[in-house]
Amino acid sequence: MFPLRRNRRLRTNESIRALVRETYLTPNDFLVPLFVVEGQGIKEEIPSMPNYYRLSLDMLKKEIVELWNMELKAVLLFVKVPDNLKDNKGTEALNPEGLMQRAIKTIKEFCPEMLVMTDVALDPYSSYGHDGIVQNGKIVNDDTAEVLAEMGLSHAQAGADVLAPSDMMDGRILSLREALEDEGFFDTGIMSYSAKYASSFYGPFRDALDSAPVDMQEVPKDKKTYQMDFANRFEAIRETEMDIDEGADIVMVKPGLAYLDILREIKNEVDVPVAVYQVSGEYAMLKAAAEKGWLDHDAVMLEQLIAFKRAGADIIASYFAKDVVRLLS
Ligand code: PBG
């Protein structure tokens, strides 16, 4: 082929590189995770997530305005629950006046077009820090799926547009979908965390919400009996196909960077939109290296985010959403 083909011709300068570039990022690619806390006037930085904050409802409003003005039109809500409201069954998760339900209403009342997605899992509400109910040292599946369906329904009743179950119980998409249909919530979407791995990259998130599994006898110290083994690939396809069959509108791969192979494979297999979650540990890694002056923050951020899109992501949940939109404009 050489010298008839010289691939470097198309790399000669930025103009021609731009002309042949295959992948772009826009604000529409992003889903912005937000952490909500009780209180007033609170905007507290999360120690292991520099420049990322927990917000009280009044500060959440300000954040929503800022996001909307940046054309970031979709958020994914998480709440930090006070210890005295936690129990094994996650009772507080069903409180129609709970923090999550109030956060949804707050956003929907004053910015109805903002797409509100909510995390559906028990861990922030669980006294044991598990995504499900613990019985005899095990995380029970079917009872958990029932509670999660009620939890999702209560988010839908508060006005959530899309529910995002992140727990990895079997059958939870079906029980949630049935609960929504029974109550007439035909338009409520489900974005399933379908291929969610038992990952050590979630550490900073668990700091943010104080939701790590507790260190107690009789309680599993990790989430390996429900989240997937990171050595597995075919299992990710099986999980994802099942979630689609059970009624998921969007599927997700999580974490992101260490799972680009899975992301591409799922994108090739399925015909629903595929999301990826660039998780808290991925954010923390880059922030830490950039703080030390070891990596160029913006350049590496862009390279990582483009990699998700190139690997097939239709939606990217990322703590860098604001940073990257600022960089692009
Ligand atoms: C809750 C949940 C977790 C994350 C999203 N939803 C933590 C976990 O499963 O332990 C992690 C997100 C992140 O690390 O950014 N089930």
The DSSP bridge partners found for residue 277 are 317
The pLDDT of residue 146: 98
The pLDDT of residue 79: 98
ipTM above 0.95, yes or no: yes
Residue 127's alpha-carbon distances to 70, 213, 224, 258, in angstroms, are: 37, 9, 18, 30
Please provide the CATH number assigned to the domain covering 29-328.
3.20.20.70
Residue nearest to atom 2 of ligand 1 (CA): 166
| Cβ–ligand 1 contact at 199 (below 6 Å) | no
Query: What separation in Å is there between the alpha carbon of 205 and the centre of ligand 1?
Result: 6
Return the C-alpha torsion angle 309, 314, 316, 321, nearest 10: 80
Domain boundary assignment for the chain: 29-328
The pLDDT of residue 319: 98
Residue nearest to atom 16 of ligand 1 (CA): 166
The pLDDT of residue 269: 97
Residues of the chain with pLDDT under 50: none
pTM over 0.90: yes
Query: What separation in Å is there between the alpha carbon of 157 and the centre of ligand 1?
Result: 23
Q: Which of 254, 267, 309, 322 is catalytic?
A: 254
Secondary structure of residue 293 in the 3-state scheme: coil
Question: How many angstroms separate the CA atoms of 52 and 318, rounded?
Answer: 11
239 annotated ligand binder: yes
Query: Phi and psi (nearest 5°) for 65?
Result: -60, -45
Active site residue 62: no
Active site residue 89: no
